[in-house]
């Protein structure tokens, strides 16, 4: 077990969390890794922090580029990485000290696997303040069709990244990792989820994921469905059921809002405005 792993850490406006993320890399019991910190044109002091870590340990490297989005930053780091395996790590998240020790052998011992992932804990503020646990199941693209069950911080083979042309850099509003996993697995590659909590996802009041879910979810879904339409056409009936499920869910939610006391009060208060406009 001595495969080199390239850990890619894009950073944009997360300098305040960067040191904690890099410390979780340094704490790895598996030692054959390189960590490429990609400053994606961040306006904060990410450069200063990254350079300090590069001076601390030669396995840390620093790459600075113009802002191009998360996909662009990951691709830039992976291009200069020398590892056979790739691990993306967002600058505000953490990995367990046994993450690589546990997952590297999973890929080394099974050549049919493209991706090795794990269970996750979501925390707020402190790593000990766990607010949610994620235990996904699945082995192939069928489990990924309608929901991204794989965390972005999953270990995968660099040859798979090369085969699909990297992360889609046009996807600047999220879901780029979901599209990436589908692109890899729809060709026959499989993934394995290790049933251990090895990843810690930081929940924040405002984040790229929250913005994506609130404002860009449907547009991103449409893009993914069109880009990989052959697999969704193949699952036509299931896809149709899922889309109608979303429509019904949205309608139910909208109806609850209309029946709420707050909505009724707002409607009454708005009547004078409507009269004034007339």
pLDDT at site 216: 73
Judge whether 105 lies within some domain: yes
- Is 162 in the same domain as 272? no
Mean pLDDT across 234-253? 76
Q: Are 192 and 244 found together in one domain?
A: no
Is 216 a domain residue? no
pLDDT at site 179: 98
Residue 264 has pLDDT above 60, yes or no: no
Between CA 150 and CA 154 the distance in angstroms is 7
Q: Is 122 in the same domain as 257? A: no
Asked if residue 45 belongs to a domain, the reply is yes
Please indicate, yes or no, whether residues 57 and 116 belong to a single structural domain of this protein: yes
Mean pLDDT of the chain: 89
pLDDT digits (tens, 9 = 90+) for 213-235: 567 788 898 899 999 999 999 98
Cβ–Cβ under 8 Å, residues 76 and 166: no
Helix axes 261-277, 236-259, angle to 10 degrees: 80
What's the confidence (pLDDT) of residue 217? 81
Confidence band (pLDDT; 50, 70, 90) for 265?
A: very low
Confidence band for 271, pLDDT divided at 50, 70 and 90: low
The 10s digit of each residue's pLDDT in 37-66 is 999 999 999 999 999 999 999 999 999 999
- Kindly report which listed range (82-91, 98-107, 165-174, 257-266) carries the lowest average pLDDT score: 257-266
Q: 120 and 64, same structural domain? A: yes
Residues 119, 198, single domain; the answer is yes
Q: Show which of 206, 226, 254 is a domain's final residue.
A: 206
On whether both 87 and 23 belong to a single domain, the answer is yes
**Single pTM value for the model:** 0.86
Alpha carbon distance 187, 154 (integer Å): 18
In terms of domains, do 65 and 144 share one? yes
Domain that holds residue 269: 237-277
Does the residue 125 lie in any domain? yes
Instruction: Tell me, yes or no, whether 81 lies in a domain.
Output: yes
Note whether residue 214 is domain-resident: no
The lowest-confidence range among 2-16, 101-115, 215-229 is: 215-229
Residue 222 in domain: no
Number of domains observed in the structure of the chain:
2
| 3-class SS letters over the chain | CCCCEEEEEEECCCHHHHHHHHHHHHCCCCCCEEEEEEEECCCCCHHHHHHHHHHHCCCEEEEEECCCCHHHHHHHHHHHCCCCEEEECCCCCEECCCHHHHHHHHHHCCCCEEEEEEEEEEECCCCCCEEEEECCCCCCHHHHCCCCCCCCCCEEEHHHHHHHCCCCCCCCCCCHHHHHHHHHHCCCCEEEEEEEEEEEEECCCCCHHHHHHHHCHHHHHHHHHHHCHHHHHHCHHHHHHHHHHHHHHHHHHHHHHHHCHHHHHHHHHHHHHHHHHC
**Domain CATH number, residue 25:** 3.90.550.10
Classify residue 130: in a domain, yes or no. Answer: yes
């Amino acid at each position: 077990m001595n495969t080199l792993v390239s850990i890619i850490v894009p950073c944009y406006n997360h300098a305040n969390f960067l040191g904690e993320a890099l410390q979780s890399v340094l704490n790895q019991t598996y030692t054959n890794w390189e960590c490429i910190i990609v400053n994606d044109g961040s306006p904060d002091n990410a450069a200063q922090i990254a350079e300090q870590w590069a001076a601390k340990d030669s396995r840390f490297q620093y790459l600075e580029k113009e802002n191009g989005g998360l996909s662009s930053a990951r691709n830039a780091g992976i291009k200069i990485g020398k590892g056979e395996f790739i691990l993306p790590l967002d600058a505000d998240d953490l990995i367990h000290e046994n993450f690589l020790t546990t997952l590297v052998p999973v890929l080394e011992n099974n050549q049919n696997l493209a991706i090795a992932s794990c269970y996750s804990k979501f925390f707020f503020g402190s790593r000990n303040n766990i607010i949610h646990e994620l235990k996904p199941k699945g082995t192939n693209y069928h489990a990924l069709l309608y929901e991204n069950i794989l965390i972005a911080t999953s270990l995968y083979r660099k040859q798979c990244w090369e085969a699909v042309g990297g992360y889609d850099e046009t996807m600047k509003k999220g879901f780029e990792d979901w599209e990436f996993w589908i692109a890899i697995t729809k060709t026959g590659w499989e993934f394995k989820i290790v049933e251990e909590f090895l990843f810690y996802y930081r929940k924040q009041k405002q984040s790229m994921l929250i913005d994506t879910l609130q404002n860009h979810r449907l547009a991103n879904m449409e893009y993914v469905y069109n880009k990989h339409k052959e697999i969704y056409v193949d699952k036509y009936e299931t896809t149709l059921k899922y889309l109608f499920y979303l429509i019904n869910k949205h309608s139910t939610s909208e109806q609850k809002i209309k029946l709420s006391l707050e909505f009724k009060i707002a409607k009454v208060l708005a009547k004078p405005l409507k009269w004034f406009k007339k």
